[in-house]
Structure 1
Amino acid sequence: MSYYKTTLFRLLLGSATLLFFNSCKTDTGYADLKAALTLYASFDQGVDADFALGDKHLYTVPNRKARDSAQVGLHKPDIQINKGKGRFGDGLLFTERSKGYIYYPSKDNISYNTTDWSGAISFWLQLDPATDLEPGYCDPIQITDVSYNDAAIWVDFTKENPRDFRLGVIGDRNVWNPNPKGPDNENPIFNKKLTGVKNPPFGSDVWTHILINFSNLNTPQGKASLYMNGELKGTRSNITTPFTWDLELSNIYLGLGYIGMMDELSIFNRSLTDPEIKTLYTLENGVHSILN
């Protein structure tokens, strides 16, 4: 073999080897994310989750205590699938603030643990908070068996313009607020448990990626972080208040007071690394990419 052919062969072999290892690295990263996934709703084929370890159905209920009145499917006229307008494919459109709730059951769809609980929650939002939201607090997602102030994980927009965007990881109310006085959401103890973003990067014509990362809840080393568009925006450490759920009553509520678009809800059974969070943010075809 001539010198030039030998050199060309080595270059081609080196390139092929590099591509092979890069491919393996990417596939391994996707495989790790796929293995950690517990719920994924793309809203491309309706409101049922594309993937779920628990109940895949979305439910509509008139209020939190009326579980016997829950209906399978989407039964709120102010919420609809918006064809072709999601971050990828279709998305979920909330058009007004109204009574009632929609949710996926938490059981098996979120990896709740009484002794050491970790996980991650990922989704996309599109809205202009200053012009789209009606007055009052607004929670695009809230996961709890009781309410926002009692063993709950959520993000919200504050009630007045200019609106902050906040992460709440709030333990058992009878522990953090045993002698309640006045509204909890105005309690300094409550507000110290939040981490937030002023002038958050939302807009009516842009999609913003939200990721809630939490680890070691129900231990003395509890921690929770808020990421937006792949970047860390705030962290709470040393979360020691316990999170006690009646798992049968816990739900993943969507769009409480929210007006705007939502897409690509995914939940994982462990906290994610910074590279994995960047991967979720930059996926070209959404979470479908890690399922294929």
Structure 2
Amino acid sequence: MKTTKLLSISSMFFLLITLQLLSQEKLLKDHILFYSSFDGRTSADLAIGDSYIYTVVDYKKKANAKKGLHDPNVVLAKNKGIFGDAIQFKEAKTSAVFYKAYKNVGYNNTSWSGTISFWLRLDPNKELAPHYCDPICITDSKWSDAGLWVDFTDHSPRQFRLGAMGDIAVWDPKNDSNETDWNKRTVTVNPSPFQSKTWTHVSIVFSKVNTKTESEFKLYINGQLQGVIKGINDPFTWEAEKGKIMLGLGYIGFLDELTIFDKVLNPEEIIAVYELKKGIQTLLK
């Protein structure tokens, strides 16, 4: 009798956990704005806005951007992804490659929150060219003016950073920013955890941007919080339709499973995404 009761309790507990996970996955699915698996194609698997990837010689000539990849140094790497294929940046001197951010990142000029999730694979100290590089930068202008980005520093050992630079007219109006200004708006990970044969998961979580209260920006690596940018209130003022999800600025390596959620993922949800057996595709079934 006792054994039967124990089995019944165990079965009930397992069922509750399973239902909780399924419910959590459904909730996550409902909050995906943009997802690109890079499996066999460069266009996004899911996009609220434009799904196409674009290539142009440089961002100053964005009016000449063409749909698709048109740079031999930026390719789809078959079976090289964390799941399936991935996008690979083979050399640092590449054309500008981007998705349009309009509607795909949920930008709002009065209240903007969300989560950006992706995987990287590289050895930064052996593979990167000797200058700063940004695997991803989201802005309507440039990295220093209403830009949200991650980069690798230009010195050895290469450090990995999250940067949240609001309107340059607010945080650096005289173009005389100092170390204090930078430290308030960046999170630095040292030593860097990235390796050439191992995929590393990165999540950027941002909240209360443009709400006239103090914003927060959090960096997670492999599900673990690395640091928080807080105590600032820089607005991110965009011409929304000019926003871009810039990829691989000076970067050499692989990138996969780019996903943007319209909500602040909590620590448990960050880990859930990190631990998905078959990536974001698991949520879309």
User: Which whole-Å CA distance do the structure 2 matches of 1:238 and 1:218 have between them?
Assistant: 14
Counterpart for residue 260 of structure 1: 253
The partner residue of 2:66 within 62, 67, 71 is: 71
CA distance in 2 between partners of 1:83 and 1:100 (Å): 21
Alpha-carbon distance in structure 2 between the residues aligned to 1:87 and 1:173: 36
**AA at the equivalent of 1:189:** D
After the TM superposition, which residues 162-181 of structure 1 pair with which residues of structure 2 at under 5 Å, given as runs? 162-181=157-176
Which of 197, 201, 204 is the matching residue for 1:212?
204
Alignment pair present for 1:276 and 2:269: yes
Gaps in structure 1 of 5+ consecutive residues = none
Contact 1:217 1:239 in 2 (8 A): no
Q: Is the 8 A contact 2:92 2:251 kept in 1?
A: yes
Q: 1:263 is matched by which residue type in structure 2?
A: D
Q: Is 1:158 matched with 2:153?
A: yes
| Partner in structure 2 of residue 248 of structure 1 | 241
Q: Is the 8 A contact 1:42 1:49 kept in 2?
A: yes
User: Bigger radius of gyration, 1 or 2?
Assistant: 1
Question: Where do 4+ consecutive residues of structure 1 move more than 3 Å?
Answer: 10-16
Inter-partner Cα distance in structure 1 for 2:183 and 2:229: 12
SS of 2:201's equivalent?
strand
8 Å CA contact 1:146, 1:250 repeated in 2: yes
Distance 1:177 1:170 in 2: 10
CA displacement at 1:55 relative to structure 2: 0.7
Where 1:279 maps in the other structure, the secondary structure is helix
Question: Paired residue for 2:76, among 78, 81, 89?
Answer: 81
**Paired residues of 2:36 and 2:257 also in contact (CA < 8 A):** yes
TM-score normalised by structure 1 residue count: 0.93
Q: Once the 2 structures are TM-superposed, how far is the Cα of residue 192 of structure 1 from its aligned partner?
A: 3.4
- Deviation digits for residues 51-71 of structure 1 (CA, Å, limit 9, x no counterpart): 111111111111212222110
The one-letter amino acid paired with 2:195 is G
> How many angstroms apart in 2 are the aligned matches of 1:178 and 1:34?
40
How much has 1:14 moved relative to structure 2? Answer: 3.6
Deviation at 1:191, TM superposition (A): 4.2
The match for 2:216 among 199, 223, 247 is: 223
Residues 248-278 of structure 1 deviation map (CA, whole Å, 9 limit, x = unaligned): 1110011100001111100000110000000
Structure 1 match to 2:12: 17
| Aligned partner (choices 84, 87, 110) of residue 115 of structure 1 | 110
Shift of 1:13: 4.3
Alignment-derived partner of residue 142 in structure 1: 137
Query: Could you tell me whether the CA contact under 8 Å between 1:39 and 1:267 is conserved in 2?
Result: yes
The equivalent residue for 1:193 is: 185
- Cα shift at 1:23: 1.8
Report the 3-state secondary structure (helix = DSSP H, G, I; strand = E; otherwise coil) of the residue aligned with 1:68: helix
Once the two structures are TM-superposed, the CA of residue 12 in structure 1 deviates from its matched residue by 5.2
Q: 1:56 aligns with which of 48, 51, 55?
A: 51
**Displacement of 1:15 after TM fit?**
4.1
Q: For residues 226 and 38 of structure 1, what CA distance do their matches in structure 2 show?
A: 20
Say whether residues 1:97 and 2:89 are aligned partners.
no
Unaligned runs of 5+ in 2: none
In the alignment, the residues of structure 2 paired with residue 192 and residue 232 of structure 1 have an alpha-carbon distance, to the nearest angstrom, of 17
Compute the displacement of 1:247 (Å): 0.9
Q: How far apart are the structure 1 equivalents of 2:104 and 2:124? A: 29
Amino acid at match of 1:234: G
Tell me the matched-pair count: 284
How much does 1:93 deviate?
1.0
Overall identity of the aligned pairs, in %: 43
> How far is 1:87 from its partner?
0.5
The TM-score, its normalising length taken from structure 2, stands at 0.95
